[in-house]
Amino acid sequence: MSPGYIYYANPAIADLRAFWRVYVSVERIGDALNFWSRGLRAAKRLVGDRFHAKIASMPILYPRRDAIVFYLEDLDEDAVAAFGRVLSGDRAPVSRFTRHIAPGVGIAHEPNAAQAAGSPVSFGQHRASVLAQLLSDEILYAADFDIVAAENLVRNGINPRAIYRNVESMEGGS
């Protein structure tokens, strides 16, 4: 659970294995409820009760690139993108670590917990810590940086060709 968020989860679906995150960037808390209710209805149409979601609950948390997050199971990326486009509307920027699919909406794989130093971390924490290591490596291995960077990303479970995806997606995965 994230501090400052209201979390939606169907108690009958305790075994949800989130694979995708859909991030909705919102400037003002007053706009968030519209995106939230639209997203809940769209998620129920797409996957029934097999999703979780959270919304930032305090005005001080806005603007925020992850004001609303939907957690979905392993679906086709096109279906996830179509779901995300339903949430489009706010022109707020999305994280550069995500795949931008519509104004104010980005998607990404759930970080692989096994790749995240053995403890659950947020998507942003995971990608930012790897990026920080890459910046350090760039200084040490400038001549071979492309090779070192790709190896580091793969070692940390990130697809080097699409950093919003996990490494498992490199060879015909989701």
Give the model's confidence band at 118: pLDDT under 50 very low, under 70 low, under 90 confident, else very high.
Answer: low
Distance separating alpha carbons of residues 114 and 120, to the nearest angstrom: 8
**SS3 of the chain: helix, strand, coil, percent, to 5:** 45, 20, 35
- Check residue 89 and give its pLDDT: 78
Retrieve residue 6's tokens. 């209201």
The torsion angles phi and psi of 100, rounded to 5 degrees, stand at -75, 120
CB of 169 closer than 8 Å to CB of 109: yes
In this model, does residue 117 exceed pLDDT 90? no
First to last CA, the chain: 26
In the predicted model, what is the mean pLDDT of residues 73-99?
90
Q: How many CA atoms lie within 13 A of 124 on its CB side?
A: 10
Q: Span 78-104, mean pLDDT?
A: 91
pLDDT of residue 145: 77
**Segment of 49-63, 84-98, 141-155 carrying the highest mean pLDDT:** 49-63
Q: How buried is residue 107: exposed, middle or buried, by Cβ count under 10 Å (0-12/13-18/19+)?
A: buried
Residues 6+ apart with CB under 8 A from 108: 20, 21, 23, 95, 97, 98, 99, 123, 164, 165
Q: Give the pTM.
A: 0.86
Residue 166 has pLDDT above 80, yes or no: yes
Which two three-digit tokens encode residue 84?
A: 């995300």
Instruction: Categorise residue 159: left if φ over 0, alpha if ψ from -120 to 50, beta otherwise.
Output: beta
Q: Considering the chain, what is the average pLDDT of its residues?
A: 86
What pLDDT, on a 0 to 100 scale, did the predictor assign at position 114? 47
H/E stretch holding 150: helix 145-155
